[in-house]
Structure 1
Amino acid sequence: MSVPRNVRATGAALAVGVAATGVVACSDQPPRAEVLRIALSADPQCLDPHQAPHTESLHVGRQLVANLTDQDPTTGEILPWIATDWTVSEDATRYRFTLREDVTFDDGTPVDAAAVASNFEDLRALGAKSPFGRSYTKGLRDIATPDSRTVEFTFDAPSAQFLQATSMVTTGLLAPATLAATPEERCTGGLIGSGPFVLDTHSPNASTTLSARTDYAWPGATATHSGAAAVDGLEFVVMTESGIRSGALQTGQIDVDTDVQAQDEAALSGAGVPVTARARPGVGYTLLANEQSPALSDPAVRRALVHAVDRPELAAVLSPHETYATSVLSAVTPGYTDLSSELTHDPDRAAAELDAAGWLPGPGRVRVKDGRPLTLRLVFAATDTRSPVYEVVQQQWARLGVDLQLIPLDAGANSEAQKNGDYDFVCWAVTRPDPVVLDTLFSVTSASNPNRRTEPGNIDVLLTELGRTTEPAARQQLADQVAREAIGQGHAIPLFEQSAVVGAAAAVNGVTFDASSRPLFYGARFES
């Protein structure tokens, strides 16, 4: 008797990249668990959602934690989850949440006001270890717990972004026992969460297994499923090669590929494997200059490079579900305005600006100044699937006399280089369905500060006002000003808008996306 498609082996019984075959004996034994096998394109690096900024980490973390609030992916409306209701002061300095009474962590301890307060205190205490958390709790002065079902947050200044922040994976709720562990211990596992799945095992660079929590009964308002998860468990497996993931999906070795690449979509379609995509809100893939770099300390050089990019030409190496950038923010982000006119490809203008800055054509077709060639290093992870985009930009800048060197590094070396500023450019994307995402990258006081700026400028003044402003029209105007300043000063060189492109076997239904376009597997199920 052949194995039915929806009867899945556990991680221990099925090695990564090897198809499951065999026979099932007729007996009274219960069927094996239904485990959804999900491929990640890179190692999660750190499982703790409070710390992790990486996409793969957050894919796993999203399944493990519940949040105070939920966010409607279509309207952006903030809706109940662990908090049943809330009030916000007129000046957005005080937030008061009322909690459900029936929620517990995996270890049975209650998700009460004290536990919620501890989670947000943890985000503050992590500091630079939590670049997103530091942004979400910026200006947080005090957390009070008048009773077990009420938690109050008070900010030093208006914090227009905080309510939306309570729906993000990074503010997901972890048990006090987990928070007592060191940040390093939490990265490697042992997490006790509040979501529909429980963390079982984690093997770095290999796999992470989760099991469905049988008593889960508090889905968010946007959930399309209720009760325990529809499958018995999840197994996330690391498969860095897109072609291997595509082949494994076509042959049934995996059930979901969380990072389908453009070159694989036709093959998947031909094999009858559905591909679903959703644009990611926030800052799209953007080159960020190290402004302490000798050449890039000059805003004229950075501005020239903005106009040296032919963005429509990038479409040749993008997914059909993605498009080139028309602003720093992606088009699905609240507060987006089309700034295409500020991102025009104008090689003559770029050349004139470089000439005026003293970078003149030199030997080998590379511009020089004071005998130094205009050679710039773009540092990125060797597992980065966007290297074809970087290669196109490299070719475009070469026509202008700019030598862009692509430096792929292993995960550890890449983290060290970015932490120490050992680069001329990095390329980042930050997902958040709120325009205050701009503060995460461009504030001089942010935990990340990839521009390596040391002195506040006009953009910092604008970002402060954006963070304090709740009136929609005024907030929109400020978001536009920040985006224009980021482009005009060359802090940002936008390339393209990313999308979550997920392939799931035809027998798998119920995979959905949250408001940040992260896949949700709570309601995923096998159809016979």
Structure 2
Amino acid sequence: MTGLTTGGVRLAGVLGLALAAMLPLRPAAAQDAVIVLSSAEAGVPNYDPIRGAILNTGAALIYDRLVEQDADQSFHPHLATSWESTSDGMAWTFKLRQGVKFTDGEPFNAQTIVWWIPKYKGTENEFMIDAIDHVEAVDDYTVRFVMKRPEPNLIYNLASTFMSIPSPKAFDAAGDSYGVTEAVGTGPYKLESFTVGQETVLVRNDDYAWGSDLSENQGPPHIGRLTLREIPDQSTAFLELKTGGVDMLLDLPTDYLSQLKSEPDIDFRTQPGFGTTYMPINTQAEPFTDIRVRQATALAIDQAAILKTVYNGIGTEAHQFLIASLPESKVDPKVEIRYDAAKANQILDEAGWVRGDDGIRVKDGKPLSVKLWTRAETEYKRIAEIVQAQLKAIGMDAAITVFDTSTIRDQYKKGEHQLVIATYGWNNADILDWCFSGKRLFYPNVAMWNDPKSEELNEVAMHQSRTGAEREANFRKYHEYLLSQFVFAPIYEPAQNVAFNKARLQVPGVIRGPQLSQQTIVDLKVAE
């Protein structure tokens, strides 16, 4: 999971011209490229897929996975060449690719998998392997997962970046520091350097010869050196793309798309959404311990106005938590959260919140004044400003505070937040567990939601679903309950926009995978 993100201020035209003059032009090199990571991937503290709570695209390039996922959510072989399960779902057998080596020279084989799966125990990511009782090595290149219970989501989990496979030798030798100065996988790139919050430099794995069938290029990447940069301000990132400082942006704000028409060297690719923008409500902070105040707050958010004003109508309104392509998003329309200012005002009236002369409501001598947190990227700060106005219309005074990416996560741990403009990137219903489980309070459960019935529904959905259809039904029920409790306000489901300098990069017309990652990056070429 890529974590929660929030947003910043666009630079004015004159300031933009001044910045352009200050930005250095990057010398062109035949086999290098610079990619700016999406805001959702900013602030990753390490490249440890087993213990990490957030990872970025670099992890998908350093490591491989047993299985890869395509944009249509189909699954394809990678380090596992095939798999099958028993009819009762209590055992899975995987055939492993032969001839694969980690970049430290260690072999990849069945013993790697026997070592790897138990390492997740006791970590935040243990839920991904919790259904596995143990792993048996049938032979050097065949493993059997013996299950505690059926897990219809197993193949999805195995395709996750969080189930990337590190070198056992390197991982054990580095201990808790693994992923900071050393990260060793079988992937198409090797880690050369990593500066937290700034950049990651990767170099080609020249021995790579086992790309998945989602990539046209099965061998080493065409680009020899790849720099993944973090640029917090989206205006600065776009300016660097225009002036040649970077070659690609993985997260182009929708409101920049119109400007591409006047830039002859810039092109873009658009994919369906990979998450939603929403506003978690701290259910343990007054006045939001009262479900009526949470409901009024959620109903005050005008999704259509935000879609039009911030995103120029590109993307879709969100009225629940999951992306529209997931069957678990097809909830009962009665529980969808939709803008209704009149009802919001009525609810606050009935709850005893009386409007003062200044329009702000008061109850028991206390004004309805709250904190609204956001991050310093353009679109999210604009959303915060619109939400602030929408809340004021129902008599709530929201004071905006802006944090950078890494700081806001630290601030969550203090539990002082009330409302937050946030986003996630994930294409599976288990994001509900990640964001609302009582086991994950503060972060990523920024809503601080800890409710017995919710925990029971979560447990059934996560651990008691025997088939895919059962899992969908259980998660839909869990999803509907969360919506009924107004623990967040849904806002927006974005499209994914990737922009690149076509004078520098050749990008396939179709991006394979749920987002631009290893499947397509190995096919990128430096333009001739």
Report the TM-score range of the alignment, normalised by the length of the smaller protein: 0.7 to 0.9
Residues 1:138 and 2:135 are matched in the alignment: no
Aligned to 2:350: 356
Matches within 5 A, 1:169-208: 169-180=161-172, 185-208=177-200
Q: CA deviation at 1:470?
A: 4.9
| Partners of 2:460 and 2:474 within 8 A in 1 | no
CA distance in 2, matches of 1:337, 1:241: 35
What percent identity do the matched residue pairs reach? Answer: 21
| Partners of 1:41 and 1:240 within 8 A in 2 | no
Matches within 5 A, 1:332-371: 332-337=325-330, 342-371=336-365
**CA separation of 1:49 and 1:364: change in aligned 2, threshold 3 A:** farther
Bigger Cα displacement from structure 2, 471-480 vs 518-527 = 471-480
Amino acid at match of 1:48: Y
Deviations 1:500-528 (A, max 9, x none): 21101123223564533243411100232
Residues 1:506 and 2:464 are matched in the alignment: no
Aligned to 1:516: 514
| Partners of 1:444 and 1:453 within 8 A in 2 | yes
CA distance in 2, matches of 1:444, 1:94: 30
CA distance in 2, matches of 1:399, 1:157: 50
Aligned to 1:480: 476
| Partners of 1:510 and 1:523 within 8 A in 2 | yes
Residues 1:318 and 2:311 are matched in the alignment: yes
Amino acid at match of 1:115: T
Matches within 5 A, 1:73-84: 73-74=71-72, 76-84=73-81
CA RMSD of aligned residues (A): 2.7
Deviations 1:429-486 (A, max 9, x none): 3333322332222232347333323342146325523653354544443333222222
CA distance in 2, matches of 1:493, 1:323: 15
CA distance in 1, matches of 2:146, 2:426: 23
Aligned to 2:490: 494
CA distance in 1, matches of 2:298, 2:165: 40
Bigger Cα displacement from structure 2, 61-70 vs 441-450 = 441-450
Bigger Cα displacement from structure 2, 113-122 vs 287-296 = 113-122
Aligned counterpart for 2:445 among listed residues 445, 449, 456:
449
Aligned to 2:414: 420
CA distance in 1, matches of 2:429, 2:247: 34
**Structure 2 unaligned blocks of 5 or more:** 1-21
Query: What secondary structure, in the 3-state scheme, does the structure 1 residue paired with 2:35 have?
Result: strand
CA distance in 1, matches of 2:365, 2:479: 35
Aligned to 1:12: none
Aligned to 1:270: 262
Residues 1:87 and 2:88 are matched in the alignment: no
Aligned counterpart for 1:97 among listed residues 94, 102, 125:
94
**Structure 1 unaligned blocks of 5 or more:** 1-15, 23-31
Amino acid at match of 2:495: S
Q: CA deviation at 1:155?
A: 4.0
| Partners of 2:457 and 2:477 within 8 A in 1 | no
Query: What secondary structure, in the 3-state scheme, does the structure 2 residue paired with 1:335 have?
Result: helix
Q: TM-score, normalised by structure 1?
A: 0.86
Aligned to 2:153: 161
**CA separation of 1:399 and 1:164: change in aligned 2, threshold 3 A:** same
Residues 1:45 and 2:44 are matched in the alignment: yes
Aligned to 2:367: 373
**CA separation of 1:513 and 1:134: change in aligned 2, threshold 3 A:** farther
Q: CA deviation at 1:221?
A: 2.6
**CA separation of 1:37 and 1:497: change in aligned 2, threshold 3 A:** same
Matches within 5 A, 1:293-308: 293-308=285-300
Aligned counterpart for 2:224 among listed residues 212, 223, 232:
232
Residues 1:119 and 2:125 are matched in the alignment: no
Q: CA deviation at 1:197?
A: 0.9
CA distance in 2, matches of 1:195, 1:149: 18
Deviations 1:351-391 (A, max 9, x none): 12122223222353222222222222233443575221122
**CA separation of 1:459 and 1:206: change in aligned 2, threshold 3 A:** closer
**CA separation of 1:515 and 1:183: change in aligned 2, threshold 3 A:** farther
